Amino acid sequence: MNNNIFKNPILIWISILVIYFIMHVQVPFIESLLSALSMVIAQIIAYYLSKHIIIPRYFERQLSKFVATQICVILILTIIILWTKHLFIDYSFLIEDIKIHFIRVFIFTIILLVITVWTSTSVYILEREQETLRQLQFLEAEKTLSELKFLKAQINPHFLFNALNNIYSMSYMEDKTTPEKIAMLSEMLRYVLYDCNSEFVALEKEIIYLENYIEFQKLRTENAQQIELNTKILDSKTSIAPMIIIPFVENAFKHSRINKFPNAYVNIFINQDIESIELTIVNTIPKVRFVSEASSSGVGIENIKNRLSLIYKQNAKLEIIEDTCLYSVRLKIKI
């Protein structure tokens, strides 16, 4: 049944009016109309008194007072209806016992008023649930928006400091690749500050940012680093949420401490086919770890988990495995 009927139950009251006319075919029209109107008015009073005063005041706080108050309202309105019928309608023409008739009217009125109170309570609960749902949806949207804004504007300050420091050193040493590195850093900043303002970006832009990030990581030490990046992309224009891959890569570099340990490595694999994008990252873990590293869950990993849940819902599957010497991440996103 349509909820609008219960929210504004005019049709129900019209039905009651018709029923009362049918029940009082033997009664003169005016007297029958007054009797029916008294019943409908009682229903309206019970409905709005219950929905706007009694339920909000007692339903959630004091259930016993709620029940007692509703019973009192039903009884008072029933007595008023019976008194109105006795005052305006002459039942002396009835062959049946008048007392039996009024007992029937009393029971019928009680039933109608109980149904009215039940309807008003149901409507109140339904409206409250809908309002709660709207608030939750609004809060979820606000949370998603704030997280996206945070991540889109995010660039690791330590990475930025190291990149600028390396560029300064290269410039001081008159390295011919300095302009190239400046252009790379500029491209990275442009991606974070401008391209990431969109809800989704092309996969190729995320990979270009990743390639530039790795290039700057290699500058942190003069020794050769074991960094492997393999990409197998079917369509580079495929859309992906921005800054969804980088935090896992940052986490791998952070915990492998690849710039300190010669045997450390970071392997990154990105495969994209018709149905999905799959990221796999494997990095070593040094035997000697700092307490802060051991207790850390990684750069933005928890935040990324929330983003994956909010944006992709069931279409993203994340698996993280950690043992004594290796840390691996596997992320699969259905396109």
pTM equals 0.56
Beta-carbon count within 10 A of 44 CB: 14
The distance of Cα 207 from the centroid of its chain, to the nearest Å, equals 30
Please give, one letter per residue, the 3-state secondary structure of the chain. CCHHHHHCCHHHHHHHHHHHHHHCCCCCHHHHHHHHHHHHHHHHHHHHHHHHHHHHHHHCCCHHHHHHHHHHHHHHHHHHHHHHHHHHCCCCCCCCCHHHHHHHHHHHHHHHHHHHHHHHHHHHHHHHHHHHHHHHHHHHHHHHHHHHHHHHCCCCHHHHHHHHHHHHHHHHCCCCCHHHHHHHHHHHHHHHHCHHHCCCEEHHHHHHHHHHHHHHHHCCCCCCCEEEEEEEECCCCCEECCCCCHHHHHHHHHHHCCCCCCCCEEEEEEEECCCEEEEEEEEECCCCCCHHHHHCCCCCHHHHHHHHHHHCHHHEEEEEEECCCEEEEEEEEEC
Q: For residues 212 and 215, give the distance between their C-alpha atoms in angstroms, rounded to a whole number.
A: 5
Render each residue's pLDDT in the chain as its tens digit; 335 residues: 444 444 556 656 666 666 655 555 555 566 666 677 777 788 888 888 888 888 888 887 788 888 888 888 888 888 887 777 766 665 555 545 666 767 777 887 888 888 888 888 888 888 888 888 888 877 777 766 666 566 555 556 667 777 788 887 888 787 888 888 899 888 888 888 788 778 889 999 999 999 998 988 888 777 778 899 999 999 989 999 888 888 899 889 888 888 788 889 999 999 999 999 999 999 998 876 654 454 444 446 777 787 888 788 889 999 999 888 899 999 999 98
Written as six digits, the tokens of 70 are 């509703």
Residue type, 232: K
Residue with tokens 């989704």: 200
d(CA 201, CA 194): 11
Per-residue pLDDT, 277? 95
pLDDT in tens, 164-178: 888 878 887 878 888
Q: Check: CB of residue 281 under 8 Å from CB of residue 329.
A: yes
**What are the two backbone dihedrals, phi and then psi, of residue 238, each rounded to the nearest 5 degrees?**
-60, 135
* Pair 217, 181: CB distance under 8 Å: no
Give the domains, in start order, of the chain with CATH numbers: 3-139 (no CATH), 153-334 (3.30.565.10)
